[in-house]
Structure formats: C-alpha cells, structure tokens
Structure 1
C-alpha cells in the first residue's frame, strides 16, 4: 500500500510543473491542452490522442516548451528515441535552463548516448550548478556515463564526491544506489576488497539489494573466498526472485548500467 501511495505521489509530482515563466494566455493553453487534455489519456495505448491534444496546444502557441517536452516523453518510454529527440531538442531550444538537464538524463538513461549526455550535463552545470535531475545530481549521471565509457577512475571520483555531498550538504543522507555505483567503479579497477566494503554499505541501506550482492560475490571470488561466494550469490538469486533490484523509478522503462537479469544469476 505504501508503495502504491508513493507511486501516485510521484506521478502527481511528475505531472505538476511551474507555470511561473508562462504568460496568462500560455497558462490557459497548458491547462486546456495538457492538464485537462493530454492527461486524460494513457499514452501507452492512447498515443494518438495524447499527441493530438499537445499538437492542438502547439497550434495555439508553439513557444511553450512544456508541450514539446510532453510530446517527447512517451516516445522515450516506448524506446522510440529518434522519434522523441527532436521534440525534446525543441524544448531545450526554448528553455535550456529547465530542459537541457532533462535531455541529458534521457541521453544517459534512455538512448544511451553517453558522450552527448556528458556534454549536456556539463552545460547544465554552467546554467544551474550541480543541481538534481530525477533524484540525482548532474555529476552522478556524468559518473554513470563515464562507467559506460570505461573511464572508471573519473567515475570513481564523481561518485565519491556525490556520497560526500549527501553526507555533508544533505544532513547525512545515505543512498544505496550511490554506494552501489561507487562500488562498481572500484570493482572495475580490480579494487576488490574496497569494492566489497562499499557494496556492504549499499546492502546496509537496502538489505535485499540483489545487484550489490551479485557484484560482491564476484569480488569475493576474485579474492579466492569461495566459501563466502556461494552464500552471497544464493542471496542475490533469492532477492532477485523477490523483485529486489536496483531501486530507481525509471528501471520500469530501461535497464540501468550494471543492472542484472536472470541470465547473470543462472535463473
């Protein structure tokens, strides 16, 4: 029940947006064609109706960045990246401060254009500082991109800074995903023992974290600790079967870097 309430809250938050930068006339268009228009449809099976509402709004005023962004979003979730990108490009053109980091996120997590994602996030930092997009800092996603480009030491530095920031600037907040990817950056550099310590921190925050246990098991195997490997690997299998995987909302649409599948666990 708690998860359902949280999901509803997240969706409501996702669909709400600041209208401060829009004129009175533009706010009316947004209300008519987005809030009271497109949102009446489920784009998973009513894509035509969703897009038609937004197109009608854009016919009234094609300078409303939010409408262009909402045209893009369902295509990315349907993995039609080339269809969606021109629309988010238009939103960025109209309002780079708000939509450049969102495009960078889409390039990192969805279309997986990591070099372009890094460029967009670096430009976003110039505009907004190292702000947040979808629960993490811009530098966090740059770190993910570096992981996928095999630039592990660069990723390690950014994830370490991110963890330090969570503690120092956000009152000791800990994040299992942050520890996991910091551990991955160490794992890829063959720092097996240090990686295990970091994966254990992720597991402390999220006791059923199957990915953290899977990669911890590999590190244990590399260190020759065969007695421990079997136990940790079996725990990873059991947790995975329970659906206890990488805890990021957009994993319902896309595989995140180093996310595991039944293939990894011999299931």
Structure 2
C-alpha cells in the first residue's frame, strides 16, 4: 500500500469516526444523561453544603457540572437561586438568564416570578409573563396564576384600573374552576380598588378575603383605613387594633418566599 493510499484511507476512517461520535443524541438519552449529572453535581455535591454560609462550596460543585455540560439549565438556576435570597439580584439574574436560554419551557415563568417578587422589575416581568401565556396559556408559577402576577405588576406600576380588571377576570376563572378564588387574589383585588378610592368596594373584597383567612392582618389594616376614609372612626379603630394583634401573632401574607421578600402592600408593624 503506497503512502497516498494510506493517507486517503486514514482520512476516510477519521470522517467515519467523526460521524459516529457526532450522531445526534435523542431527547431521551439527553434527559437521562443530564439527570445523572444533576444527581452527581447538585444532589451529591452542592446540596451537601449550606449556601447561606458555604456559598463558594455550593457554587464550586455547580461549576464542575457546568464544565461537563454547560447546557444543563438546572445548574444555572441553582447557581442563581441563592443570590436572589441574598438580594444580589443582578448576579443571580445573569445565571438565571442562562437557565432560561437552555430550557425556557421550565425556567421562563420562574424568571418572571423572580422579577415580579424579588427584583421588582415589573415591566420586565410583564414581558416574561406575556411570553409564558403564549407558551402555556392559563397556567401557574409558585402557586399563583400568571394573571395574578401580571395584575400584581400593574398594581406596582400604579396602573390600578388595569390591575383591577385582570384580578376580576382571574378571580372569576378560579371560581369557575375550583369554586373559590385564592384569598390573596381577592385581597389584591381589594387593594386595586383601595388605590382608586373605592372604599366600600375595597371593604367588600377585604371581607371576602377574611372569610378564608379570618386573622389576615393586612386585610384588616387596609379595611381599617377604608373605614376611616368613610368616617366610621369607631369601627376603624377596632379593626386596626385587631389587625395589630393578628400581625403580632404572625398572621400576615403567608407565601413561602415571604421570608425572603416582603410582598406588595404587606404591612410591616
């Protein structure tokens, strides 16, 4: 075999090997492989540390996983999450953007929630939630509908009429589906009216919220203000005193993430 023939055969062999190595991984194969990486670098490494005081060790584990496969969206989300809880929003968002890039169907709604509740980027949150609605239709994130969060963003942008309309529509949808709406939706529906000086309408919604959560101090606080504005001073005083007692017992907005971030209109006594 002459030298030229040997070179040609070697080239053909390398091409065949390259085609073999670069064959397209099936979606199932990729899922199983990435699950194994998550098991190794998240569950059996990062989660052995407490990111509250071992942040570097936590991040090192995730970085090792990213060296193996930087397309695992969960690695990036897990890098981001502790920074949001530490209120380092810009640092966390850079990592979360990567998670959304690699797996938007899983992490876009989470990023929208973070922008709404944690980093208070309401206009940016609205953009993400609009995309979520396009992808998922009527759906949820962190136990509340996309519409709840969208209305909350408008409430925080002082677009009270728009917030009121969205809360109303979403409450009707929840009542049709489950028989009743979440007390927090009803509370914020009342807040949208409170901000427009619709004192009696707001009280009606706060009372509906209190039917589900009788010791809800925040609903009582804003109800007391409405009563004062209606010149019902005695009832206002009694309601405000009850609100304070309930607040001292911890009966406030009870969302899981409330320990990290106060929710809009949550009263700090």
The TM-score, its normalising length taken from structure 2, stands at 0.88
**2:213 alignment partner, one of 206, 221, 224:** 206
Deviation at 1:157, TM superposition (A): 1.1
Q: After alignment, is 92-101 or 76-85 more displaced?
A: 92-101
Residue of structure 2 in register with 1:97 after alignment: 105
Mapped pair 1:259 → 2:260: no
Residue number in structure 1 paired with 2:237: 230
Match for residue 82 of structure 1 among 90, 102, 123: 90
1:185 paired with 2:180, answer: no
Alpha carbons 1:177, 1:247 under 8 Å: kept: no
Match of 1:59 in 2: 67
2:142 pairs, out of 124, 134, 145, with 134
For residue 164 of structure 1, report the CA deviation from its aligned partner: 1.1
CA contact (8 A) 2:100 2:108 kept: yes
**For each residue in 1:4-41, what CA deviation from the matched residue of structure 2 results, as whole angstroms up to 9, or x when unmatched?**
xxxxxxxxxxxxxxx97943221111100012221222
Q: What corresponds to 1:114 in structure 2? A: 122
Q: 1:160 to 1:121 in 2, by over 3 A?
A: same
Q: Which of 39, 44, 47 is the matching residue for 1:31? A: 39
Q: Which moved further from structure 2: 101-110 or 32-41?
A: 32-41
Q: What is the alpha-carbon distance in structure 2 between the residues aligned to residue 34 and residue 68 of structure 1?
A: 11
In structure 2, relative to structure 1, the CA distance for the partners of 1:223 and 1:33 (3 Å cut) is: same
**Equivalent residue in structure 2 for 1:195, among 198, 202, 222:** 202
2:222 corresponds to: 215
Deviation at residue 182 of structure 1 after TM alignment: 0.5
1:7 is matched with which residue? none
- Structure 1 unmatched ranges of 5 or more: 1-18, 263-267
Give the total of aligned pairs: 243
Q: What's the CA shift for 1:206?
A: 0.5
- Work out the CA distance in 1 between the residues paired with 2:223 and 2:29: 48
- The structural deviation recorded for 1:130 is 2.4
Larger radius of gyration: 2
Partners of 2:172 and 2:181 within 8 A in 1? no
**Cα deviation 1:15-74 (Å, max 9, x = unaligned):** xxxx97943221111100012221222111111111111111111100000110110000
CA distance in 2, matches of 1:62, 1:31: 15
Runs of 4+ in 1 over 4 A off after TM superposition: 19-22
Verify: 1:154 aligned to 2:162, yes or no.
yes
Cα RMSD, aligned residues only: 1.4
- Tell me, which stretches of 5 or more residues in structure 2 are unaligned? 1-26
Sort the Cα spacing of 1:39 and 1:21 in 2 relative to 1 into closer, same or farther, 3 A: farther
Shift of 1:149: 0.4
CA distance in 1, matches of 2:29, 2:246: 46
Q: Does 1:163 align with 2:199?
A: no
